A and B are shown apart, each in its own frame.
Chain A
Amino acid sequence: MMRLPWFQYRAPASVMEAARILAGEGPQGMLIAGGTDLLPNMKRRQQTPATLISLSKVAGLKKISNDSGLTLGAGLTLTEVVGASTVREKYRGLYQAAAQVATPHLRNMGTLGGNLCLDTRCNYYNQNEDWREAIGYCMKREGTTCWVATASKRCLAVSSTDTAPALIALGAKVRLVSSAGERELELASLYNNDGMEYITRKPDEILTEIVLPANNGWKSTYWKLRRRGSFDFPLLGVAAALRLAPDGTVEDARLVLGAVSSQPLPVAKASAFLVGKKLDDAVIAEAGTLAASRAKPMDNTDLDVYWRKEVVPSFVGYALREIRGDDMRALRMRIARQEL
């Protein structure tokens, strides 16, 4: 049986108390919410915090409030996010992303905040300690080389969150709280393109809320590439949010790719290209090509790396066609293996 290493356990009742403990523990302390990302990593000794600070008893992390937009507590489980009618109706891309994370059980456990903070993944890194010893470890933990590209100066582990691309496309902000105060920032700027320093959350900060702007006519979607209809992390995520004029002209667009870089990747050029145009097949194809040019999948996850890059335009096309109003149900069934 794979077992957790020994650790100290703290279960504060408030965000402030949690923040104080976190600050006191320093780098040896880690937050645990759903645990679905951290605990496997601890069992494999990828992460070995001395103290776990549980957010399970912290009040107020499960709020859903419909003010001008939508505020979601970071402690909501992905199942709770999927079940929220506002999410389903007005923020479809988030609904589709959250509904495709992992499995039903893991969505019952994993939180929205946890999915946003998900450790970057790499199949040289997400391995037991014995395995990592057999390759002499890697840059992300205990080693010096990035085996994905041995000349690389930085770690190439992949951002594997489904909800982040969807939320960035929707213009989400996040609230971070520490014992010293709190701040709100664009979700996009929560991330760095670095497999090790992938998140700009400071070690003493707690992600407490995700704030979405009012919908104001935006349509959104999320398409996920993975081998199976369940379990798998994304090999490509395409999140799109567009505002269309009544005649179908694109007024504003945000395309974000997931799993093709160490961070969720807003593709500004492709987004800008769409603005002012109608979503005809040629425009969709061009947007796909523009988006694909930014994608840099690496050979550290499932399926062939060149193929994963090659199909980016197709998946961008699926997203844009769905927003255009095409009936994508049969194709969605073939890709996602479920209705979304």
Chain B
Amino acid sequence: MSSAKKFDVIGHSRRRVDSRDKVTGQLRYADDLKLPRMLHMKLLRSPHPHALIEAIDVTRAQAYPGVQLVLTGKDFPVPFGIMPVAQDEYPLAPEHVRYVGDSVAAVVAKDEQTATEALALIEVKYKSLQTIATPDEALAQPQARIHDYTDVGNIHRNQAFEFGDVEEALAGSDYIFEDLFFYEGDNHLAMEQHAALAKNEGEGKLTLWTSTQDPHYLHRQLARVLQMSAAHIRVIACNNGGGFGGKCDPAGHEFVVSKAALMLGRPVKICLTREEVFYLHRGRHPVLMKFRTGVSKEGKLTGMHLQTLLDGGAYGSHGPASTFYTGVLTPLTYELPRFKFDACRVFTNKPACGPKRGHGTPQPRFGQEVQLDKIAEKLKFDPAELRLNMVTKADSLTANWLKIGSNGLAECIRQVVDGSGWKKKHGKLPGGRGVGIACSSYMTGAGVSIYWNKMPHSGVQLSLDRSGQVTVFCGATEIGQGSDDVLAAIVAETLGISTKEVRCITGDTGITPIDLGSYSSRVTIMMGNAALQAAGRAREMLVAAAAEQFEVLPESIVLSRGRVFAAGDANKSMSFAEAVVYAETKFGTLGTVGSYTPPKPPGKFKAAGVGPSPAYSFSACVVEVEVDEHTGWLTVPKIWIAHDIGRALNPVLARGQVIGSVYMGLGEALMEEQVFRRLPPKLSNALVHKIPSMLEYKSITSLDMPEVEVYLIEDPDPNCPFGAKEVGQGPLLPVMPAVANAVFDAVGVRIDEVPITPEKILRALHLKREGKIARVGPEHFPDVPYVEPTFVLPPAEGGDGNESKRPDRKAAGKLAERTAS
């Protein structure tokens, strides 16, 4: 009997609650909204990568027929930023522009055409500054500062942590593998371009409808930047036409459109063009990585020193978190007794990078999984066996103090190995064909909020009335992942009704309890647990009222399929609505709340808050490829992926998240890249996005996408609602390295960077034919002035989770000898 049988709703594939509006074109995204007397806004953007604004003359634009308002940087004295430590961005740049596309002025007019025409009438005088195009330049030119609020040159963040003495572990290893990898940056390319509509309501109050994943954080930033009471601001997160992390940051245009609406007393709307979305960016950081990994001859990891260098672009964004994430989640997948990471993020004159699906983790995951493939090759292990022998265990602590709960990774590996016919294929396929494997893990919600507080991460409010209607309120945001469906399903299951009977009101800071937002795969667990509590409390009232009515013990009351009845007595049954009437009679107006706060992380050292999660998901992936040895042309005919989801609340949607993650990972593996063009510096300062269009920023089409075989591994996690862990991000992570490893299996060349293009494969094949090292990837890691690491003893070495002094290496060695004897 499958576990789903116990439930009426959970575990059954169902039509999602918001699908009807989506398939009928009735769903209103932000740009679909229209209000009486609405005006339109366009932004003027810097054509210079790095410059000072010497003067702005807006008089001609202001006088242009149809123009209502022109705003510039002087109208916005307060900066913003999603992270409290990186408030470094202005809605309109007051004096310093830092990339081509930085916004400097706004025109509000009767229509977009008029606003666009008026932009051309604004005259801006710039003074060019030195262009910093790459991290190498950022490090080499510390005097040409893009920001002056950080400690050193163009270094934004510099973080270093060491969990156990890694050099000692490496010295004691049978092998040390040292590899460089590079992961190119890429954009979310959500189909919906960001749009926002602001309206002045009541006495100086503001309502903003916008395509945001995080209405709560935006709400706080709006209050700060507009210098008004947060209680007078209402942010309504419209359904996002895709987010993927690209709508997590507050965006400059959201402040400008709000200010304009308040000043004019008329609604003002803006919708970015696709090019502007590429400038807003906040996408995957380009990361250069160096792995030094110790391995025993039994194929176990002994220690790892990981160094990362992130190209952050022009602003902070989520950068402080992104920088941590290039390190902290690394020890979750395989047992790693000691771990050290140095991570540095630098500023460059390009659009700011930020969080994209997998936030900071795909890059080191790519590196580690390709390196493991090299380790297996050298040690003559089967790559799947090597991994299976070192997977982390359930209910364990990693060296860096992350608490793993349920862990289905071993089963994931077994499933994809069996399903793909791995043992018959790996090393055995003829003619340029090959298979590669990789695994991953990801967090089910960040354990700590972006700003420090002890309040709940998610709140849910439930109201029921005598009509039998159930309305559930939550600040969580539907970005396409199905969060409304999760909310409805949990409430419906708990109350014994169908999801059709539950009305979801979400993502509205004016009427829904706070939820931190749709990021870090946190919604199912956090909103779900809050919903479980709220619905559980409502259920208790219904049960009490029904038990009284039937004159039975509350324990015998069952709520199922729209009925409330006493178990074992067919005469004692009523409809759900009747039960609500009795409950309303007994308790008065019915309403319950629930909230959720994640458990305290076990680590106590400073910055131990980044990485902990109430639960972790695990994935394993096998990719099959065909490589043409004459051209390097790469084809991916099939992908197998297993994902440890804990429990699938709605399997058809869960599978959709897995396939969608595989799709996006495959795009990053093969073609997606946010790249820039530097014109010859002798002739020009220009540094432009090379391809800010849907045509030239390549994303996979229906014809390029292979069939994906999905295995959902269901081992319910006790920290999660009905055991359901995350599924929206984790399954992306193993795809890129599995492609690289499959290319090696096919033609024996290593591509140590993404995207993996036919040109790189052919270049590596030429090197192979010439007898050289058959590898294309980064050759050089610059001299990064990393800081001294915070040292923390791992749990297995008797640490208490606090920062400590590094144990004396000699003494430790003696201790080891004693232990050995």
Contact with A along B98-122 (1 / 0, CB 8 A): 0010000000000011001000000
- Given that A1-B271, A136-B684, A337-B703 are contacting pairs, would A228 and B698 also be in contact in the complex, using a CB cutoff of 8 Å? yes
What's the Cα separation between A286 and B777 when bound, in Å? 33
* A334 interface hit (Cβ, 8 Å): yes
Find chain A residues with CB under 8 A from B628 CB: 314, 334
Stretch at the interface among A166-174, A186-194, A205-213, A302-310: A302-310
Closest Cβ of chain A: how far from B748's Cβ, in Å? 19
- Assess the A150–B680 pair: CB atoms within 8 A: yes
Q: Which of A130, A136, A227 contacts B45 (CB 8 A)?
A: A130
- Assess the B695–A130 pair: CB atoms within 8 A: no
- Given that A304-B759, A334-B628 are contacting pairs, would A231 and B112 also be in contact in the complex, using a CB cutoff of 8 Å? no
* A3 interface hit (Cβ, 8 Å): yes
- Assess the A135–B700 pair: CB atoms within 8 A: no
Find chain A residues with CB under 8 A from B696 CB: 123, 126, 302
* A128 interface hit (Cβ, 8 Å): yes
* A95 interface hit (Cβ, 8 Å): no
* A65 interface hit (Cβ, 8 Å): no
What's the Cα separation between A159 and B274 when bound, in Å? 25
Closest Cβ of chain A: how far from B458's Cβ, in Å? 35
* B4 interface hit (Cβ, 8 Å): no
| A123-161 at interface with B (beta carbon < 8 Å) | 123, 126-128, 130-131, 133-136, 145, 147, 150
- Given that A227-B698, A304-B757 are contacting pairs, would A131 and B116 also be in contact in the complex, using a CB cutoff of 8 Å? no
- Assess the A130–B275 pair: CB atoms within 8 A: yes
Stretch at the interface among B85-93, B135-143, B237-245, B686-694: B686-694
Find chain B residues with CB under 8 A from A304 CB: 757, 759
- Assess the B112–A3 pair: CB atoms within 8 A: yes
* A56 interface hit (Cβ, 8 Å): no
- Assess the B700–A228 pair: CB atoms within 8 A: yes
Find chain A residues with CB under 8 A from B632 CB: 307
| B668-697 at interface with A (beta carbon < 8 Å) | 671, 677, 679-680, 683-684, 686, 688-693, 695-696
By beta carbon, the residue of chain A nearest B271 is A1
- Assess the B275–A128 pair: CB atoms within 8 A: yes
- Assess the A135–B688 pair: CB atoms within 8 A: yes
* B635 interface hit (Cβ, 8 Å): yes
- Assess the A303–B113 pair: CB atoms within 8 A: no
- Assess the B703–A338 pair: CB atoms within 8 A: yes
Find chain B residues with CB under 8 A from A127 CB: 692-693
| A86-139 at interface with B (beta carbon < 8 Å) | 123, 126-128, 130-131, 133-136
- Assess the A136–B686 pair: CB atoms within 8 A: yes
Find chain A residues with CB under 8 A from B703 CB: 228-230, 337-338
Q: Which of B113, B631, B759 contacts A3 (CB 8 A)?
A: B113
- Assess the B704–A310 pair: CB atoms within 8 A: no
- Assess the A145–B273 pair: CB atoms within 8 A: no
What's the Cα separation between A335 and B116 when bound, in Å? 42
- Assess the A311–B631 pair: CB atoms within 8 A: yes
By beta carbon, the residue of chain B nearest A306 is B759
Closest Cβ of chain B: how far from A122's Cβ, in Å? 11
- Assess the B757–A123 pair: CB atoms within 8 A: no
What's the Cα separation between A130 and B688 when bound, in Å? 11
- Given that A227-B671, A304-B757 are contacting pairs, would A334 and B626 also be in contact in the complex, using a CB cutoff of 8 Å? yes
| A265-316 at interface with B (beta carbon < 8 Å) | 302-304, 306-307, 310-311, 314
- Given that A145-B683, A147-B679 are contacting pairs, would A128 and B273 also be in contact in the complex, using a CB cutoff of 8 Å? yes
What's the Cα separation between A310 and B765 when bound, in Å? 13
Closest Cβ of chain B: how far from A225's Cβ, in Å? 9
* B725 interface hit (Cβ, 8 Å): no
By beta carbon, the residue of chain B nearest A3 is B113
Closest Cβ of chain B: how far from A149's Cβ, in Å? 11
- Assess the A130–B704 pair: CB atoms within 8 A: no
- Assess the A131–B688 pair: CB atoms within 8 A: yes
What's the Cα separation between A294 and B112 when bound, in Å? 47
* A251 interface hit (Cβ, 8 Å): no
Closest Cβ of chain A: how far from B196's Cβ, in Å? 14
* B633 interface hit (Cβ, 8 Å): yes
- Assess the B275–A307 pair: CB atoms within 8 A: no
Find chain A residues with CB under 8 A from B700 CB: 228
* B216 interface hit (Cβ, 8 Å): no
Find chain A residues with CB under 8 A from B684 CB: 135-136
- Assess the A314–B47 pair: CB atoms within 8 A: no
What's the Cα separation between A70 and B680 when bound, in Å? 50
- Given that A228-B703, A307-B762 are contacting pairs, would A335 and B680 also be in contact in the complex, using a CB cutoff of 8 Å? no
By beta carbon, the residue of chain A nearest B637 is A334
Closest Cβ of chain A: how far from B330's Cβ, in Å? 32
- Assess the B273–A2 pair: CB atoms within 8 A: yes
What's the Cα separation between A131 and B276 when bound, in Å? 11
- Given that A303-B757, A304-B757, A307-B762 are contacting pairs, would A3 and B701 also be in contact in the complex, using a CB cutoff of 8 Å? no
* B48 interface hit (Cβ, 8 Å): yes
By beta carbon, the residue of chain B nearest A317 is B630
Q: Which of B273, B626, B688 contacts A134 (CB 8 A)?
A: B688
| B641-686 at interface with A (beta carbon < 8 Å) | 671, 677, 679-680, 683-684, 686
* B758 interface hit (Cβ, 8 Å): yes
* A232 interface hit (Cβ, 8 Å): yes
- Assess the A228–B701 pair: CB atoms within 8 A: yes
Find chain A residues with CB under 8 A from B47 CB: 130, 133-134
Find chain A residues with CB under 8 A from B116 CB: 3
Find chain B residues with CB under 8 A from A3 CB: 112-113, 116
- Given that A302-B698, A307-B762 are contacting pairs, would A229 and B686 also be in contact in the complex, using a CB cutoff of 8 Å? no
Closest Cβ of chain A: how far from B244's Cβ, in Å? 20
Q: Which of A131, A229, A311, A337 has the most CB of B within 10 A?
A: A131
What's the Cα separation between A335 and B45 when bound, in Å? 40
Closest Cβ of chain A: how far from B638's Cβ, in Å? 13
Q: Which of B626, B679, B689, B690 has the most CB of A within 10 A?
A: B679
- Assess the B704–A131 pair: CB atoms within 8 A: no
- Given that A303-B757, A304-B757, A337-B704 are contacting pairs, would A135 and B686 also be in contact in the complex, using a CB cutoff of 8 Å? yes
- Assess the B686–A134 pair: CB atoms within 8 A: yes
What's the Cα separation between A126 and B696 when bound, in Å? 10
What's the Cα separation between A274 and B677 when bound, in Å? 42
Closest Cβ of chain A: how far from B763's Cβ, in Å? 8
What's the Cα separation between A338 and B703 when bound, in Å? 7
Q: Which of B273, B631, B695, B702 contacts A314 (CB 8 A)?
A: B631
- Assess the A229–B691 pair: CB atoms within 8 A: no
Contact with A along B689-733 (1 / 0, CB 8 A): 111110110101111100000000000000000000000000000
- Assess the B698–A131 pair: CB atoms within 8 A: no
Find chain A residues with CB under 8 A from B695 CB: 231-232
What's the Cα separation between A307 and B683 when bound, in Å? 27
- Assess the A123–B113 pair: CB atoms within 8 A: no
- Assess the A1–B273 pair: CB atoms within 8 A: yes
What's the Cα separation between A330 and B113 when bound, in Å? 49
By beta carbon, the residue of chain A nearest B687 is A134
State the A residues within 8 Å of B (CB).
Answer: 1-3, 6, 123, 126-128, 130-131, 133-136, 145, 147, 150, 227-232, 302-304, 306-307, 310-311, 314, 334-335, 337-338
The 9 closest A-B pairs by CB, nearest first: A229-B703, A307-B759, A304-B759, A337-B703, A134-B47, A230-B701, A334-B635, A135-B686, A311-B631
A-B contact pairs, 20 of them (CB 8 A): A1-B271, A1-B273, A3-B113, A126-B693, A127-B692, A130-B47, A131-B689, A131-B692, A134-B47, A134-B100, A135-B677, A135-B679, A145-B683, A147-B679, A150-B683, A229-B701, A230-B703, A303-B758, A304-B757, A311-B630
Given A126-B693, A303-B757, A334-B628, 10 other A-B contacts at CB below 8 A?
A1-B112, A131-B275, A131-B688, A135-B677, A135-B684, A229-B704, A230-B702, A307-B758, A311-B631, A337-B704
